Amino acid sequence: MEYVKSKVRNIYDFPVKGVIFKDLTTALKDQKALHIIGKTLSDLYRDKGITKVIGIESRGFIGGSIMAYELGAGFVPARKPGKLPADTVSRSFKKEYGTDTIEIHRDAITEDDIVVIHDDVLATGGTMAATYELVKSMNPKKIYINFIFEITALDGRKALPAEAEVTSLIAE
């Protein structure tokens, strides 16, 4: 993971002053780093019986799609309001620089599903906590949470449910 970490770029004061944005696009465009990310993410869940991978808009779509493909699972997008065409469920949440809402299709998850929710970066945890609550309300058998990068100084894990297994490939 050191190779991947070396490819992550810091963008200062983005999207607002005082925020250090972890830009993973520099790692994703590097074929070796992308391969490491995809293989490592998939290997974490290969024997867990995953039936659905939920990717959080928008960078979570990348790692989430790779995992779904590698695991032979379905992919479910968690999106901002108005982006999904069918009946949705939603949750609003606070972010480090404002508030937002996340939605998924009402019929995306069943009680037979074993789910991993994926996003690129864990910062304050608001987006993931809201997505987790949406998925949990659909009563799947099990929910895992996964990130590529965790910004430990922001204590985002505190916002996440204690019962969920949370994994980050890189934490700093």
Catalytic residue, chosen from 2, 57, 79, 96, is 96
State how far the Cα of 63 lies from the Cα of 14, in Å rounded to an integer: 22
Which of 2, 9, 46, 59 is the catalytic position? 59
Quick one: tokens of 128?
């993931």
Confirm whether 46 is a catalytic residue: no
58-61 long-range CB contacts below 8 Å, 24 or more apart?
59/24, 59/25, 59/119, 59/120, 59/121, 60/118, 60/119, 60/120
Whether 91 is catalytic is no
DSSP string, 142-154: EEEEEEEEE-GGG
Catalytic site residues? 59, 96
